[in-house]
């Protein structure tokens, strides 16, 4: 934890890997030092991936607090905490993904609503 100013703490997050999409396949590729943390994951059918919407990370987008759900102007405006909007004060994203395989430091998953290169913050089962 660091201090933004004397009253507000700032927390630093360190990615453990990234999303990789190639040829209609999707992987979570961990940094080498986190590979041991995958032990036993292959026994599960899904994994919860916590990642960062880094492509949306601007001060302007972080300040948006109300949106039309799914960007559909026909739907009434809502607060971002009542939606799945990718723009929000902290751009943390969570997706439950089907595990296809676990090999070395790579988890092949069915799909994820993330761009290739998006930083992965954590995995949970």
Domain ranges of the chain: 18-53+92-125, 54-90
**Looking at residue 19, what is its pLDDT?**
98
**Looking at residue 1, what is its pLDDT?**
47
Residues 6+ apart with CB under 8 A from 87: 53, 56, 61, 62, 64, 67, 80
6-19, pLDDT tens digit by residue?
688 888 999 999 99
The answer to whether 113 touches 37, Cβ cutoff 8 Å, is no
72-81, pLDDT tens digit by residue?
999 999 999 9
Q: What is the pTM of this model?
A: 0.87
34-54, pLDDT tens digit by residue?
999 999 999 999 999 999 999
Topology classification of domain 18-53+92-125: Elongation Factor Tu (Ef-tu); domain 3 (2.40.30)
Token pair, residue 68, equals 């039309």
Average pLDDT for the chain: 93
């Amino acid at each position: 934890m660091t201090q933004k100013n004397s009253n507000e703490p700032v927390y630093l997050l360190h990615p453990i890997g990234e999303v990789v999409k190639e040829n209609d396949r999707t992987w979570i590729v961990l940094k080498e030092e986190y590979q041991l943390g995958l032990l036993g994951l292959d026994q599960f059918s899904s994994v919860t991936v916590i990642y960062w919407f880094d492509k949306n990370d601007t001060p302007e987008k972080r300040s948006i607090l109300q949106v039309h759900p799914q960007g559909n102007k026909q739907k009434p405006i809502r607060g971002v905490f009542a939606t799945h909007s990718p723009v929000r004060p902290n751009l943390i994203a969570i997706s439950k993904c089907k595990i296809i395989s676990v090999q070395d430091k790579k988890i092949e998953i069915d799909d994820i609503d993330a761009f290739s290169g998006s930083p992965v913050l954590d995995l949970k089962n």
